[in-house]
Amino acid sequence: MNPLTDLTLDQLRSRTSVKWTRYDADALPMWVAEMDVLLAPAIRETLERAIRDGDTGYPGSAPMIDAFAGFADRRWGWNVDGAAVQPVQSVITGYVDAFLLVTEPGEEIIVTPPVYPPFYSYLTQAGRVVREAPLTEELRLDFDALEEAFLAATAPREPGGPARSAGFLLCNPHNPGGAVHTRAELEAVAALAATHGVRVVSDEIHAPLVYSGSTFTPYTTVAGGETGLALHSASKAFNLAAMPGAMLVAGSAAEEWLAIYRSGTHHWPTHYGTLTAAVAYAECDAWLDGLVAGLEENRDALAELVAETLPGVSVSHNQGTYLAWLDFRGTSDAGGPDLGDDPSEVLYRDGRVVLNPGPSFGTGGAGHARLNFATPPAVLQEGVRRIATVVAP
């Protein structure tokens, strides 16, 4: 069963979430990472029971952690030690708090753009400096750029002074474009991090959404990755953003970092975040399999539609995630209009379709936009048709 075929556009338009309400009602939203699906039945039933019973208190996290450990073992052969899992409110609060505890204001966190915009904003707000090590044109990690960034970020403030602390926020799998880092790539990250003394946090929120031919590798399981932290949440794969909840998973040699984390006070998940994640991880494998298969079909359909109807546009071949990266830089060479640095502006104004602006993803974002293909196939077709009205009028 493909959960992406349950809803019509009319039904989706009655939603009140940000995706469906921020922009004009006649525009087609294909931006923020919400999926156009119904909940897996077991999750819906859990929530219905909790609401009916007035079960609206504070969270109890143990069932979520147990269920996640089972899921990680079944899906990835990853033996998670429940004692090394810290429940956190969300992935974003998890990585921000983790870095704040081991770096000083003015110290640097490295990111690999184009990347999820909140990799910049929250850390910057917290007084850290975000340094970029851009991906290659193929949207893979660039190890020369990473090494240069690690060196610069840890360089002493003055000659002979102590090395500065620095962090690397890895997106595994990568949003946007869906690169699923290989074990060899992750080992190379870990080796570089060890050489330069850089702390690694791996954001693995998209890990359950990996397509055939690719394999998700948990960062903390690769050689050298044990010193890092990873963040997991059911919120992307099971569409639970309304109910925040996430887990910080410490590598087997990250006890000290975990202890520092636990010595502080942090925001907890919501009760519904832990309740729904527990059911998602324990009982919804078949639903997830149907979803991933449907997403993969959408990815392939999108590639065909782009090739056939959007001259001069190219799209990422996502190995994972439902967040495609569209490159509009070739439209004028193909006889169409030049869409400039931020194609999403003209696509919204003239095409009535909403994509995320490429420049908000950092270096490499100009001339691009991000498209969310976790939507019914008919809506995906309509979205591309609207883009075509601008690109190939």
> Closest CB to ligand PLP among 116 and 361?
116
- Of 336, 338, 317, 337, whose CA–CA distance to 326 is shortest? 317
| Stretch 5-44 residues interacting with ligand PLP (CB under 6 A) | 33
Position 171 contacts ligand PLP (CB under 6 A): yes
CB of 15 to ligand PLP, least distance (A): 17
Residue from 31, 71, 99, 116 binding ligand PLP (CB under 6 A): 116
Asked if residues 178 and 323 have their Cβ atoms less than 8 Å apart, the reply is yes
When asked if residue 235 is in the footprint of ligand PLP (CB under 6 A), the reply is yes
Structural contact between residues 228 and 199, judged by C-beta atoms closer than 8 angstroms: yes
Closer residue to ligand PLP, CB minimum distance, 277 or 388: 277
Q: Is 109 in the site for ligand PLP (CB under 6 A)?
A: no
Measured from the CB atom, the residue of 201 and 388 that comes closer to ligand PLP is 201
Query: Alpha-carbon distance 233 to 220, whole Å?
Result: 16
Number of residues that bind ligand PLP (CB under 6 A): 13
Closer residue to ligand PLP (CB): 203 or 331: 203
Nearest to 368 by CA among 333, 316, 311, 317: 316
Q: Select 72 or 240, whichever has its Cβ closest to ligand PLP.
A: 240
In order of 279, 285, 310, the CA distances from 238 in angstroms are 10, 10, 31
Spatial separation of the C-alpha atoms in residues 114 and 43, rounded to whole Å: 33
- In this structure, the strands spanning 368-372 and 323-327 are antiparallel
Binding flag, residue 91, ligand PLP (CB under 6 A)? yes
Nearest-angstrom CA–CA distance, 163 and 111: 19
Note the residue count of the chain.
393
Q: Does 316 bind ligand PLP (CB under 6 A)?
A: no
Measured CA to CA, the distance from residue 374 to residue 183 in angstroms comes to: 27
- Should residue 112 be labelled a site residue for ligand PLP when binding is judged by CB under 6 A? no
| Residue 279 makes contact with ligand PLP by CB under 6 A | no
Q: How far is the CB of 115 from ligand PLP (least distance, A)?
A: 8
Residue pair 201/190 in contact by the 8 Å Cβ criterion: no
Q: Does 175 bind ligand PLP (CB under 6 A)?
A: yes
Residue 88 in the binding site for ligand PLP (CB under 6 A)? no
Q: Which is nearer to ligand PLP, 134 or 312 (CB)?
A: 134
Stretch that binds ligand PLP, among 89-97, 186-194, 252-260, 336-344 (CB under 6 A): 89-97
Q: In this complex, which beta carbon is closest to ligand PLP, that of residue 92 or of residue 295?
A: 92
C-beta separation of 361 from 116 below 8 A: yes
Give the HSE-up count for residue 92: Cα atoms under 13 Å, Cβ half-sphere. 14
Residue closer to ligand PLP, measured from CB, 112 or 331: 112
Residue 154 phi, psi dihedral angles, 5° rounding: -100, -5
Q: Is 154 in the site for ligand PLP (CB under 6 A)?
A: no
Q: Which residue is nearest to ligand PLP (CB)?
A: 90
Contact with ligand PLP (CB under 6 A): which of 112, 154, 233, 298? 233
CB of 117 to ligand PLP, least distance (A): 9
Q: Does 205 bind ligand PLP (CB under 6 A)?
A: yes
Question: Which tokens sit at 46?
Answer: 């859990």
DSSP letter at 210 equals: B
- The torsion of the CA quartet 374, 377, 379, 384, rounded to 10 degrees, works out to 90
Tokens encoding 197: 């003394």
284 vs 391, beta carbon nearer ligand PLP: 284
Q: How far is C-alpha 123 from the chain's CA centre?
A: 16
* Contacting positions for ligand PLP (CB under 6 A): 33, 90-92, 116, 171, 175, 203, 205, 233, 235, 241, 246
